[in-house]
Amino acid sequence: MSHHHEWGWMVVVYLYFGGLGAGSILLSGLGHLTKREHFRGIARTGALLAPVFIGLGSGLLIFDLGRPLQFWRLFTHINPASPMSLGSWFLVAFSIFSTFYALTHLPPNWARFFARFKLFSGALLKLADWNEPLNEMDESGNNVVGLMDNPYPNSPEWYSSLRDILAFLAIPLGVAVGIYTGILLGAIPARPFWNTPMVAQLFLFSALSSSTGLLFLLVPLFWKGSKRHAQKEHRVLLTADLIFIFVEFFIILPFIIHAQLSTQSVITAMEMILGGPYTKVFWIGVVLLGILIPMVLEFSEFFGLFKKLPMIMSKFIHVTVAVLILVGGYLLRWVFVHAGQDTSFL
């Protein structure tokens, strides 16, 4: 049954990175708009990661083409019925948008560093000044801000508004790109394994969960806050991921159950993960390691079961959960891209 697959690892990684970019910008936008001090690390980290992942993903997508140098033909033609055509335009819009959005969250010390290269130095120094965040601690280390009107007091008013508007737009744009990665697969009837809108929902929530995992790991590198800040931020990411991972799980279940109630083509296609070649990777890699184990660990932490654990142990659990989520998200896309190509309309 298994034959040569036209779409391989580059498409898998692209779908994964696209999802990470979409999820990062969405979480960043939400984090920024809440205007709470403990969300500023999420806002900044998500904003900086989004264009990087979208850029890397789009690069892979172009590199995977039979004629990479002809990629511009995607943009001399619009086919509204083709998910790939619309998706290409979305990706360009997302890349431009997320780059500007990232600039509004560029850490001041980065801006000052880039200013040394004598290219747009003036603008970068101005940006560094405008992006200087409100200090959350007084001299004795006590927290002084909670809810803030303006997390960046040095920004001119128009610049603050611009940042807010971009953060607001980041949310629907993130959803659009996150869903699009699933629609790309879901919109072709010839592959019954993919041909359901649930794939788009699944990819969106998997992307949100993976992005949360990424932020778990990376926020501390981009934002140095107080210990209390870090705890609150961890708590909110934990709660968010519990929601995402639950929704993801409750999309996978109906995806499989509904398939059993569908036509023979779909039932046969679903055998790929119910006894077929992708069964082990799907149930052990995606469901157990990527969803159930992180879910149980997050639940335990949410209800305070890890409070008595030594610091090093709870840190270890945090990292493990994040890594499992990220690995599970990748495997989900790997299974879908490959299993789908092994199925066909009977």
Partner 1 sequence: MARYAMVLDSDKCLNCKACQVACTAENHVPVGKHRNVLHQTTRGVFPELSMKTDPGQCHHCDNAPCVRVCPTGASFINKDGGGFVMIDKEKCIGCRYCMLACPYDARYYDEEVGVVDKCTFCFHRLAEGLEPACVETCPTKVRVFGDIDNPDTEAAKLMRKHSTEQKKLEAGTGPNLYYIID
Interacting residue ranges for partner 1, rule: CB under 8 A: 6-7, 64-67, 70-71, 73-74, 76-77, 79, 81-85, 88, 187-191, 263, 340-341, 344-345
Closest distance to partner 1 from the beta carbon of 81 (Å) = 5
Comparison of 71 and 302: residue with beta carbon closer to partner 1: 71
Min dist CB 95 to partner 1, Å, is: 17
* Least distance in angstroms from the C-beta of 70 to partner 1: 5
In DSSP terms, 36 is beta-bridged to 147
Minimum CB separation of residue 266 from partner 1 in Å reads 12
Shortest Cβ 248–partner 1 spacing (Å): 24
Nearer to partner 1, 153 or 197 (CB): 197
CA pair distance 301, 66, nearest whole angstrom: 48
CB of 288 to partner 1, least distance (A): 29
- Pick between residue 77 and residue 227 the one whose CB is nearest to partner 1: 77
Residue placing its CB nearer to partner 1 in the complex, 7 or 249: 7
Q: Which is nearer to partner 1, 190 or 257 (CB)?
A: 190
CA 294 to each of CA 182, 273, 290: distance values in angstroms, whole numbers, following the listed order: 23, 21, 7
Residue closer to partner 1, measured from CB, 76 or 140: 76
Find the shortest distance in angstroms from Cβ 90 to partner 1: 12
Structure tokens at 262: 């569908």
Query: At 36, phi and psi to the nearest 5?
Result: -100, 145
Shortest Cβ 76–partner 1 spacing (Å): 8
Q: Which is nearer to partner 1, 66 or 141 (CB)?
A: 66
Q: Which two tokens stand for residue 204?
A: 């969106």
**Closest separation in Å from C-beta 205 to partner 1:** 24
* Residue number with CB closer to partner 1 (8 or 254): 8
Nearer to partner 1 by Cβ, of 37 and 342: the residue is 342
3-state secondary structure the chain: CCCCCCCCHHHHHHHHHHHHHHHHHHHHHHHHHCCEHHHHHHHHHHHHHHHHHHHHHHHHHHHCCCCHHHHHHHHCCCCCCCHHHHHHHHHHHHHHHHHHHHHHCCCHHHHHHHHCCCCCHHHHHHHHHHCCCCCCECCCCCECCCECCCCCCCCCHHHHHHHHHHHHHHHHHHHHHHHHHHHHHHCCCCCCCCCCCHHHHHHHHHHHHHHHHHHHHHHHHHCCCCHHHHHHHHHHHHHHHHHHHHHHHHHHHHHHHHHHCCCHHHHHHHCCCCCCCCHHHHHHHHHHHHHHHHHHHHHHHHCCCCCCCCHHHHHHHHHHHHHHHHHHHHHHHHHHHHHHHCCCCC
